[in-house]
Structure formats: C-alpha cells, structure tokens
Amino acid sequence: MQELEKLLDRIIQRANINLREIPYDATPVIKGLVPLSKMEKFYAFYGISNYHPLDLQFRHSNLAGSYFLGKCRVSNSILYKSDIRGDELKKKGDVFKFQNFEIPMTRDEGFDIEDSFLIKTLVHNFSHDPETLERFFIKDTLSTHYANIHGAPSDGCFLGPFATVDLTTMRDCIIGAFSYVQAGEIGHMNIQPGTVWVRSPGVFNFLYRYDLDRLGDYITFEPGSIPKGVFMEVAEACKEDFQGIYDRVHLEHPISVPDSTSVDRYAVIKPKTHIDENVLVAQRAFVQNSWLGKGANAQENCYIINSRLTGNNVTAHGAKILDAELGQQVFVGFNSFVNGRPETKLQIGEKSIIMPHTIIDSPEPLIIPPGHLVWGLITKPADILTNSIALSELAAVKDKLTIGDMFFEGSGAAFVEAFEHRIDHILEANGAFFDGTRNRGHAQFNQNISFNTLQPYSEGELKGLYPTIMIKP
C-alpha cells in the first residue's frame, strides 16, 4: 500500500475513534470520495504578501490544489483543493475581548491542522475560543465538499458537504450536509442535514430545520458517492473556467478594476462584468455578467452570475447569486442559494439579511422587501410569509417567536444588533469603507499577493505526499 493511502486510512480511523459514541463510521462515506490519483495530480500554492505573516510548515501531508496564506502548520493530513486563508488570524499584540477578559496575544495566531482530511473546504477567520486563541486547531477532522470552517477550531468532527461551522469550537460532532452552526461551543452532537442554528447562550437562539425531502433536490450526500444536487451542478458548470486559471502561469483578467479593488489571481471573472471601487473578489470566486458596486465582495466559492449587487454587499463564503438584483448593503450568508430567473430577476431590498444557508429559488417573480431577515426554503412568493420577518419587527421580540418551521427564543433586538454589527465588521475587514487613506481592508491588502507553487513526489512509495517543507520570510 502506498504511503498516501495509509495516511488516508489513518485519518479516517482517528475521526472514527472520536465519533464512536455517536456512533458514526465515516469509512464508507470518505473512502473513494476523492480518488488517490486526483490527490497526486494537483499542485499546492501559497501567497506571499507584506501584510500577512509568512510561516508555513508542511509535514507528511498531501496538499493537492490547496491554497495557503499566513501562518499554518499541516501534519499527517490531506488537504484537497482547500483554502487555508490566514488573513484574519490574530497578530501578536492584538487584544481579544471575551466577557470581562481582555486577553493579549503573545504571538501570531496560526492554523494547526493535524490528522485531518479536508475536501474543497474553506478555513478562515480566527479562533474565537478563549482557551486557544493563538492556535486555531483542526484535528482528527473530516470535512467534505464546500464546507466552511470559519473561526471554528475542530477536534474529532465530520462535516458534510456545504456544512458551515462559524465562530464555534466543536468536539466529536457530526455536522450534516448544508447545516450551519454558530453556537459558541458544541460537543458530541449529531446535527442533522439542513439545520440552521445560531445561538448566543442566554441571549438568543434561532433554529430552522429543512424538510429533508425538499432539500434533497439541492444537496444529497450518500455513502459511496460524491454529493449531488443543484449546488454541485452550479459548481460543475463553472469547473472548466477554473481549470484555465490553474493551468496558466500568467493570467490577465478580462476587465480592468480600480486601484482600491482586489481581484484574486485564482478568481474567474467572465466578460460583461463591472467591478467598482473597494471590491474584494477572493480566490475560487466566479463572477459573470454581473455588476459589483462599490464595497461589494465575493468570497471563496461564490458564484455571482447575471446579477447586480448595488454596493456594500456581502456575499459570504460559498454563496451563489444567480439572476438577482440586490439593493445596497444586502447580506447573503454562507452557502446561500439565491436564484432568480433571467426573465424575472429576483429582487432583494436594501439592508435585507439573507441568513446563512438560505435557499431562494422561485420560478415566479419574487421580491424581498428592504430591511428583512430571510431564512429557509423559499420556492414561491407565498413562502416569504413563513420565511422572513422585518428586522424592526424581530427587534421588538422580547422572549419568543415562531414562524413556519423557525423557532426563536430570547432578545430579537440582540439578534438583529449582532447581525448588523457583524455585517458592518465584515465590510470594514474587506476594505469596503476605504477612503483612499484610511480603513484599508482585504480589498486593499490582498492586491499584490505573489504565489508560489509546491509539488508532491511524482512516483514511488511517497507518491502524492509533499516533502517536509518549512517556509519563512
């Protein structure tokens, strides 16, 4: 048996040991999900920039097609076409506020990925766990297609395709396909597919669970097979365009962009696209025939096609916006699927919040009013009644609220404030408010990143494994 195959078996076993009490056996799900031949095929790459630490260590790992930026240690792991994006990690001297504590960072924070297998996964943000602020660990973890590990240290977990864990430390958990969890800290939980859960203990709690039969059209994941459904079809349809940008050393995007804007070298920009000032288009984002107004952004694995984003729009990791017109400062959360029709564009009013993992997919004309919170599955105009609420109305909720399949307990005002604050922070971090001198963010800092590539052994026992490498300035 080749070393790469042994490594995969070992990683699966370690995850299984952690998940034995649930109980869960990841072997039939993970084995064969990515052929070993593909793991041997692609180069890895890393960014060099004056604005981010360069501190990378790779040992006994496969890094096929993965991207690294910042400080990261990877050992005994397989990272397949994943993005390990360290431009939001805490830096030495930063102060982290938690409850009544103000905790100074004594060194730069780094990702520490060990005994894990990540497939097309985004790892971003920083550890919000006050017990491990300088080490964002991902250990004994399996994560599948288009999952997001966002500010979420993980030990012994399994993430299904299009799952997102956000600002949450997780131990020995299963996060089902297309589930979104933001709950601070969770352990030994088996989160069913299609669960959207946002909890701030003692303050508010939001829960929505998809009808699995209806969700199946969009994402289905069964042992022995890659994920299937509309989400995968969107990604597959654009696959060839991405292939082109990986194959070429020098690449010019087909449009010119303002100086205050950053379009990543590994993003796909198709013709008839307008990109305004202070815009960030991250790697693996796909933009076609669309308008990205001032301060808008498109994060990793986003697809923005035939759409208009007026300005200051957040398109969070994995979100897909097709045939839609978004007003000023509309937020589209992680992995959301916002799908209008060419002849009847979906319209979303300004300052509306499309919750993470929302599906809006209506063959009939549909308008989301301004200032609304939207969640769940909307396939016809009538669904808006059971899947949205005016933010002002939600802010007036003092104890509990249920609408359709959504449950809410706690302070609506605190929930709205937390979301609005976070959207503002995201825009700020992405450089949307840059005025030429102040408020620089990712859109300005990430403009001049150089990329180097790394290659694995091409034959022999170590075929597919990358040599031990340490990269420093």
Partner 1 sequence: MNYDVKDLMVPISEYATVSIGTTLFEAVLALEEAQLNFDRSKYHHRAILVMDENNQVVGKLSQLNVLQALGGETDSQQVDKVSRLGDFGFSPQFVSSMEARQRFAGRSFKDICAAPANLKVENFMKATSAGEYVDENTPLETVIPQFISGHHLSLLVTRKDGEIIGILRLSDVFAAVFHMMEEGQKNQ
Number of residues that bind partner 1 (CB under 8 A): 12
Distance of CA 193 to the CA centre of its chain: 17
Pick the stretch among 136-144, 197-205, 258-266, 309-317 that binds partner 1 (CB under 8 A). Answer: 197-205
- Out of 177, 189, 354, 391, the only residue in the binding site for partner 1 (CB under 8 A) is 189
Q: Compute the distance between CA of residue 267 and CA of residue 283 in angstroms, rounded to an integer.
A: 5
Among 20, 41, 92, 400, indicate the residue that binds partner 1 (CB under 8 A): 400
**Phi and psi, residue 360, nearest 5°:** -120, 115
- 180 SS3 class: strand
Beta strands in 414-472 (DSSP E): 450-454, 469-471
Interaction between residue 199 and partner 1 (CB under 8 A) = yes
Work out how close the CB of 307 gets to partner 1 at its nearest, in angstroms, rounded to a whole number.
34
Q: Any contact of residue 24 with partner 1 (CB under 8 A)? A: no
d(CA 312, CA 328): 6
Site membership for partner 1, residue 243 (CB under 8 A):
no
> Is residue 75 part of the contact set for partner 1 (CB under 8 A)?
no
Question: What type of residue sits at position 184?
Answer: G
Site string for partner 1, 347-376 (x = CB under 8 A): ------------------------------
Q: In whole angstroms, how far apart are CA 283 and each of 66, 69, 263, 379, 449?
A: 11, 11, 8, 30, 11
Q: Which of 28, 93, 130, 201 binds partner 1 (CB under 8 A)?
A: 201
**Residue 207 within binding range of partner 1, rule CB under 8 A:** yes
* Element of type H or E holding 414: helix 412-429
Of the two residues 159 and 196, which places its CB atom closer to partner 1 in the complex?
196
Runs of H (alpha helix) within 93-229: 212-215
Closest to 130 in 3D by CA, of 90, 161, 174, 181: 90
Chosen residue from 29, 183, 368, 384 binding partner 1 by CB under 8 A: 183
DSSP 150-164: ES--EES-EE-TT-E
* Closer residue to partner 1 (CB): 88 or 409: 409
Say whether residue 209 binds partner 1 (CB under 8 A).
Answer: yes
Per-residue contact string for residues 402-431; x = within reach of partner 1 by CB under 8 A: x----x-x----------------------
What's the closest the beta carbon of residue 315 comes to partner 1, in angstroms? 28
Strands 400-403 and 406-410: antiparallel
Q: How far is the CB of 166 from partner 1 (least distance, A)?
A: 15
Six-digit token string for 312: 């200051």
Footprint on this chain of partner 1 (rule: CB under 8 A): 183, 189, 197, 199, 201, 205, 207, 209, 400, 402, 407, 409
